Structure 1
Amino acid sequence: MEEEYGREFFVILGGVIMLNIGLIGESEVVVTKDNTAKALKSGELEVFATPAMIALMEESACNCIAGHLEKGQSSVGTNLNIAHVSPSPVGMKVTCTATLIAIDNRALKFEIEARDEKGIIGKGSHSRFIVDKIKFQNKADSKI
Structure 2
Amino acid sequence: MIEVGIIGEAKDIVSENNIAKTLRSGELMVYATPAMIALMEEAAYKSIQGELEEGKGSVGTLMNVKHLVSTPIGMNVTAKSELIEVDRRRLVFKVEAFDERDKIGEGIHERFIIDNESFQNKTDNK
Give the TM-score band, short-chain normalised. Answer: over 0.9
* TM-score normalised by structure 1 residue count: 0.86
1:81 is matched with: 64
Distance in 2, Cα, partners of 1:57 & 1:114:
7
- Residue 66 of structure 1 and its aligned partner are, at CA, apart by 2.0
Distance in 2, Cα, partners of 1:83 & 1:115:
12
4+ residue segments displaced more than 4 Å: none
Distance in 2, Cα, partners of 1:64 & 1:119:
23
Establish whether residue 91 from structure 1 lines up as the match of residue 86 from structure 2: no
| SS at 1:47 equivalent | coil
Larger Rg: 1
1:35 is matched with: 18
Distance in 1, Cα, partners of 2:50 & 2:31:
29
| % same residue | 53
Unmatched tracts of structure 1, length 5 or more: 1-17
* TM-score normalised by structure 2 residue count: 0.98
Distance in 2, Cα, partners of 1:131 & 1:75:
5
- Residue 76 of structure 1 and its aligned partner are, at CA, apart by 0.3
Determine which of 33, 55, 60 is the counterpart of 1:72. 55
Distance in 1, Cα, partners of 2:13 & 2:74:
6
Unmatched tracts of structure 2, length 5 or more: none
- Residue 107 of structure 1 and its aligned partner are, at CA, apart by 0.3
How many residue pairs align between the two structures?
Answer: 126
